[in-house]
Amino acid sequence: MPVEIERKFLVTGDSWRVAGDATRYRQGYLSVNPRCSVRVRVSHDRAFLTIKGKTVNATRAEYEYPVPVTHANELLDTLCARPIIEKVRYRVEYQGLVWEVDEFEAENQGLVIAEVELESEGQVIKRPDWVGDEVTGDTRYYNSSLISYPYSQWSEIANKTD
């Protein structure tokens, strides 16, 4: 079974911006439930349908399949839940690992997350100085959660529960 082992962190400061490799993503979700999510993602002239299982610690099943860009755009425009996730991803190499920094736009503007994929959950990593608190287990930071509770609404939600 293909798996993804990934840790997520909040980003502090701007020193990560030395990265030159930036990719714009547009992605949406056809299904989100506690057991799995089904995502459609378009970037440049490539598109993928991805099925991800429930995350346990930092690991989850992940199946990814290329799809025609026209089909993916149709799915994003007509069938995916709103809002669509829009972000720019920067790839930053540090201490032998590639950190992916996602700078969110639109309804999630202001949120910046760094992710690093690992070979095992026990793999030791050295964090760059711009990596802050770990949010790996915090479901609010899952892209699939940001469609139901966009970052721009977090202060509104917090105020309603206080």
Question: Tell me: the pLDDT tens digits for 27-72?
Answer: 999 999 989 999 999 999 999 999 999 989 999 999 999 999 999 9
Distance between CA atoms of 120 and 61, rounded to whole angstroms?
Answer: 14
The structure's pTM equals 0.90
Q: What confidence tens digit (pLDDT) does each residue in 87-133 have?
A: 999 999 999 999 999 999 999 999 999 999 999 999 999 999 999 99
Residues annotated as catalytic (active site), given as ranges: 29
Architecture of the domain delimited by 3-161: Beta Barrel (2.40)
Per domain, the residue ranges of the chain are: 3-161
